[in-house]
Amino acid sequence: MPGIDSRANGEIPQDLPARYGGRFFTEGVPTHRFPESGMPAIDAYQLLEEEMALDGDPARNLATFVTTWMELPARQVVMENLHRNYIDHAEYPRTAEIEQRCIRMLADLYHAPGETTGCRTQGSSEAVMLGALAAKWRWKKQREAAGKDTSKPNLVFGNDVHVVWQKFCRYFDVEPREIPLQEDKYVIDAGDVEPRIDENTIGVVAVLGTTFTGHAGDIAGIDKLLGDLRAKGQDVPLHIDAASGGFVWPFLHPDDAWDFRLDSVRSINVSGHKFGMVYPGIGWLIFRSKDDLPEELVFYENYLGETDATFTLNFSTGAAVMLAQYYMFCRLGFAGYQAVMEGMQRNSQYLAEQLVSSGRFQLITAKSPQLPLVAFQLTGDPPYDEFDVSGQLAAERGWMVPAYTMPPNAQDVTIMRALVKENVGHAGARTLVDDIEHACQILDKRGESLPDHARRRVQRGPGY
């Protein structure tokens, strides 16, 4: 047979890939040039399968807020609707109707006082851009009507925000008025906000469940400040970035008023793909009332014979995850989301207790409640730091638990953070504690041989 003899010489037989495995068993994969011709489906599939096997395992990714597990029928909804373009409202009127149902349900959950409006977005980032644009537009219209200058808009927020807020300011020409954090104070309050507001302030942003520690700013206090200003004639709206908290607080802390129950709150963004429990690609922006969305930002397009009103940065995008969001709302209802959130909270408390009782860690605590996560740091003076623990844990067991430094002016504080979602059950939390302990024991031994902390540090972001 051809090839058999050559194997005896240590060469790979020419037709081996055709007989065993895929063609990339022995060939490089397309990386730079557009492939001249195609390949059998099984080769293309195997190529992707092998690449993905080299990625991190989403089930052990405790850095991300984003959903990494959905139940089978929900996955079926996603699979069965991957070919449906969300924007084709004329062709897919039920898809458009389902978007509106979700918006109305969220407005209800967030206690909107009357009829309102909103939109489906790609995630919280698009929702933030659109919500902040609406605020900028409202401010500009008021200033123009009063014959005042509109060239210097500013936005007030803390350094506890996600990077998307800085991005908005740069992309849309707005001055960011950032409030520095402090060691032991990782969220903002009214006292921080007040001195930064002036006549050019388009709005204030407060976060419900920060990316860094999972706590909330003093939203009620900031609302009171803005209410006092309104009584004096200055209307400064409050936007709540509830990317994560918007699906946690209503179920775990229903009496905590952070939403449209507060008069200054004019818009809220939330990520359906975080604690909304849907795979990536879905976020929501909800306005307090229809008047909060300036008419000039709505585009009426005559598309394929129908007039469509859109408020979005994209045109075509998939409808599947939006439909999956509706599935989740119907499947779980309020009681179901509450039960799941309580389960996550219990598991995160268990993880927190176990880490503290190991004697190696302390928790990052604050007055406000927290997302289902554990933010922690080393205690004592071990010969290694949180970056080492994170790196050792990833190397040994594949857990992705990030270590990062806090934003200015708390940049000297290093913490680790583990999200505790559906993919971390009680047994998973137990295994993680054991694996962290094992990683620390290895580092304890290695630390003796490396007293100068000479290990290479891997700096990572907080994970989103």
Ligand X SMILES: Cc1ncc(COP(=O)(O)O)c(C=O)c1O
- Kindly list the residues in this chain that would bind ligand X in the complex (CB under 6 A): 65, 123-125, 162, 164, 207, 210-211, 241, 243-244, 271, 283, 464
Closer CB to ligand X, 81 or 271, in the complex = 271
CB of 123 to ligand X, least distance (A): 3
CB–CB of 400/435 below 8 Å?
A: no
CB 110 within 8 A of CB 260: yes
The nearer residue to ligand X, 212 or 384, going by C-beta atoms, is 212
Give min distance, CB of 461 to ligand X, in A: 10
Report which residue's Cβ sits closest to ligand X: 123
| Closest separation in Å from C-beta 270 to ligand X | 9
Q: Which is nearer to ligand X, 86 or 464 (CB)?
A: 464
Q: Least CB distance from residue 369 to ligand X, whole Å?
A: 15
Q: Which amino acid is at 88?
A: D
> How far apart are alpha carbons 94 and 103 in whole angstroms?
14
Q: How far is the CB of 341 from ligand X (least distance, A)?
A: 17
Burial of 161 (0-12, 13-18, 19+ CB in 10 A): buried
Question: Cβ of 420: how many Cβ atoms within 10 Å?
Answer: 25
In the chain the first and final C-alpha atoms are separated, in Å, by 55
State how far the Cα of 285 lies from the Cα of 459, in Å rounded to an integer: 33
Q: How far is CA 32 from the centre of its chain?
A: 32
Q: Give every CB contact of residue 378 below 8 A, 6+ residues apart in sequence.
A: 360, 361, 385, 386, 389
To the nearest whole angstrom, how small is the minimum distance from the Cβ of residue 271 to ligand X? Answer: 4
Q: Do 99 and 318 meet the contact criterion of CB atoms below 8 Å apart?
A: no
Within 10 A of 358 (CB to CB), how many other CB atoms are there? Answer: 14
DSSP state of 421: -
Q: What angle do CA 116, 118, 123 make, to 5 degrees?
A: 155
* Complex with ligand X: residue 217 or 391, whichever CB lies closer: 217
Whichever of 98 and 419 has its CB closer to ligand X, that residue is 419
Smallest Cα–Cα separation from 458: which of 407, 382, 400, 409?
400
- Output the smallest distance, CB 164 to ligand X, in A: 5
For the bound state, the minimum distance from the C-beta of residue 396 to ligand X, rounded and expressed in Å, comes to 27
Q: Which is nearer to ligand X, 105 or 313 (CB)?
A: 313
Give the whole-angstrom CA distance, residue 344 versus residue 425: 8
Nearer to ligand X, 81 or 244 (CB): 244
Which element (helix H / strand E) includes 222? helix 219-231
User: Between residues 354 and 370, which has the closer beta carbon with respect to ligand X?
Assistant: 370
